A and B are shown apart, each in its own frame.
Chain A
């Protein structure tokens, strides 16, 4: 993860109108924000647009950022709001119409061209790709709140306190959601989980 001190330095410079510093912040965090959003909504093109929205909103709110939390946690908070607004809008728009994407979400091929590529060897990529496909399929079956808490904790590595800030809920709620989400995912991934 990027050094938070460097983030704060760049944020300070950006708050004084230095766009190059903000551009550096975008470059440092775009990967995590895009991965988080994409894992939440399973649509690459929309994830791209929503990630853009996150950084535009962050710029507009930058004067109000007081550095009480890490810059990345603050970005996750904005991403959380952007994704939930988008989901709410989509639900409103799709009232009364048949939305193929909602039905297809359960059957998304996680091994498709949109699967993220890391710097792995071909063997590792194949093994991880297979496991990733199963994990992503399992994540798609849990509620958005459970999915988000698992992604923030087990993939992004945030603490309970940071997740509570991002999701605007208590630490107790985070613990409860994480406990049930992990339990459900472990049942869904029983074979994988026990063989490793």
Chain B
């Protein structure tokens, strides 16, 4: 679209943006033709169509919450107060120069301190390796009156523990009833004691 002054005025006239003297002057100079009037009517018609179909204002959902949320964000210090850069003082520039010097001095001092500490630790701390202490194994028996004696045989690589004072185990002792429940699948399938295994299942 050409936007020379005449075209610009024409566009403004078509959109009803010329008013007063400007409007009269344009109409006098341009000489209004029926085509121009039709074109202006088309633009008016279009604007009316758009304005009728698309609302210019729609309140946002939860409008009260909208306002309160804006207020909350604004009242937060970071949002309300623009970031202000503090004015630099004269001593700030001198301090700036001193920063690398101070950093170097700090590093040298720390290094010197480190060498001192290392030297001291070399002199003082001479720790001996831990000694292996032979400990005689002790066999613990929870029942009083029972004594245990341990015999170790190096050539046989075996250890025997002899318990004295333990009551003899009666022949009719049923170990299965004193142990925890055994499921059917854990039973030895080769054992021919089907009735007993059934008893076990009932436990």
Chains A and B belong together in one complex: yes
Stretch at the interface among A51-59, A81-89, A91-99: A51-59
Q: A172 CA to B66 CA in the complex, in Å?
A: 37
Residues of A within 8 A of B71 (CB): 19, 23
In the complex, besides A19-B74, A34-B60, A132-B54, 15 extra interface pairs with C-beta distance below 8 angstroms are A23-B71, A27-B63, A44-B61, A47-B60, A56-B74, A118-B55, A135-B54, A154-B46, A154-B50, A155-B50, A155-B54, A172-B8, A175-B3, A179-B11, A186-B46
B13 to chain A: closest CB distance in Å? Answer: 12
Question: A102-125 toward B: CB 8 Å interface, digit per residue (1/0)?
Answer: 000000000000001110000000
A69 to chain B: closest CB distance in Å? Answer: 16
We find that the number of chain A residues with CB closer than 8 angstroms to chain B is: 49
Q: A95 CA to B60 CA in the complex, in Å?
A: 30
A148 to chain B: closest CB distance in Å? Answer: 13
B114 to chain A: closest CB distance in Å? Answer: 48
Residues of A within 8 A of B55 (CB): 35, 116, 118, 155
The residue of chain B having its C-beta at the shortest distance from the C-beta of A118 within the complex is B55
Q: A136 CA to B53 CA in the complex, in Å?
A: 9
A14 to chain B: closest CB distance in Å? Answer: 11
Question: A18-32 toward B: CB 8 Å interface, digit per residue (1/0)?
Answer: 010011001100111
With known contacts A155-B51, A180-B1, A27–B17 Cβ distance under 8 A: no
A74 lies within 8 A of chain B by Cβ: no
Residues of A within 8 A of B82 (CB): 60
Describe A's contact surface by its main secondary structure. Answer: helix
A42 lies within 8 A of chain B by Cβ: no
Residues of B within 8 A of A35 (CB): 55-58
What are 19 of the A-B contact pairs (CB < 8 Å)?
A19-B74, A26-B70, A31-B59, A32-B57, A34-B58, A34-B59, A52-B73, A56-B73, A59-B70, A59-B74, A59-B80, A60-B80, A154-B51, A155-B56, A160-B11, A175-B1, A179-B1, A186-B46, A192-B49
We find that the number of chain B residues with CB closer than 8 angstroms to chain A is: 36
B180 lies within 8 A of chain A by Cβ: no
Of the residues B52, B58, B70, contact of A31 by C-beta under 8 Å: B58
Residues of A within 8 A of B8 (CB): 171-172, 175
B179 lies within 8 A of chain A by Cβ: no
B118 lies within 8 A of chain A by Cβ: no
The residue of chain B having its C-beta at the shortest distance from the C-beta of A117 within the complex is B58
Q: Is the Cβ of A52 less than 8 Å from the Cβ of B56? A: no
A196 lies within 8 A of chain B by Cβ: yes
Q: Is the Cβ of B60 less than 8 Å from the Cβ of A30? A: yes
Q: Is the Cβ of B69 less than 8 Å from the Cβ of A39? A: no
Q: A47 CA to B56 CA in the complex, in Å?
A: 15
Q: Is the Cβ of B56 less than 8 Å from the Cβ of A30? A: no
Q: Is the Cβ of B74 less than 8 Å from the Cβ of A116? A: no
Residues of B within 8 A of A196 (CB): 45, 49
B147 lies within 8 A of chain A by Cβ: no
Q: Is the Cβ of B58 less than 8 Å from the Cβ of A135? A: no
Q: Is the Cβ of A48 less than 8 Å from the Cβ of B60? A: yes
Q: A44 CA to B66 CA in the complex, in Å?
A: 13
